[in-house]
Every structure is written in structure tokens, then in C-alpha cells.
Amino acid sequence: MKQRTKDYMERRKAQCAMRHPGDLKSFLVAEHDASRNLIVKKDIRKMIEQLEEKTADHTSNEIL
């Protein structure tokens, strides 16, 4: 087995052993931590920020 395949299998095992998140934000944070691609990390950060903005808007509307 090639080293690249071994590395992939080790990462895959680690991801499978990881807790399975119940909400979207936890899932995105876990994917951000697991990713090695900087572009993917940047996109995930944008998604998390958008999600936080929507939840902040939603909670501020409930208070009013």
C-alpha cells in the first residue's frame, strides 16, 4: 500500500472515530479542523459567520 493511501486511511479512521455532531455549526467546525485545504477552510469560516449572523438576527427579532 502506498504512503498516500495509508495517510488517507488514517485520516478516514480518525474522522469515523470522531463524535458525530448534532447541529450544523458543530459539523462545520469539525470539518474546518479536519480540512487541510486553505480555500475550504476559508469557505467554511464564511458559512459559520453567515450562520451566526442568521441566528443573531433571529434572536434579536424574538427579543423585540
pTM: 0.57
Q: Please report whether residue 16 resides in a domain.
A: no
Q: Please report whether residue 35 resides in a domain.
A: yes
Split into its structural domains, the chain has a count of 1
Q: Please report whether residue 7 resides in a domain.
A: no
Please write the tens of the pLDDT for every residue from 5-28: 878 878 777 767 666 667 788 888
Q: Among residues of the chain, what percentage have pLDDT more than 90?
A: 22
Q: Please report whether residue 57 resides in a domain.
A: yes
Q: Please report whether residue 50 resides in a domain.
A: yes
Give the structural domain span for 48: 21-64
Q: Please report whether residue 11 resides in a domain.
A: no
Q: Please report whether residue 64 resides in a domain.
A: yes
- The C-alpha angle with vertex 45 and arms to 33 and 11, in degrees rounded to 5, equals 20
Side-chain half-sphere CA neighbours of 15 within 13 A: 14
Tell me what pLDDT residue 19 has.
Answer: 65
d(CA 51, CA 45): 10
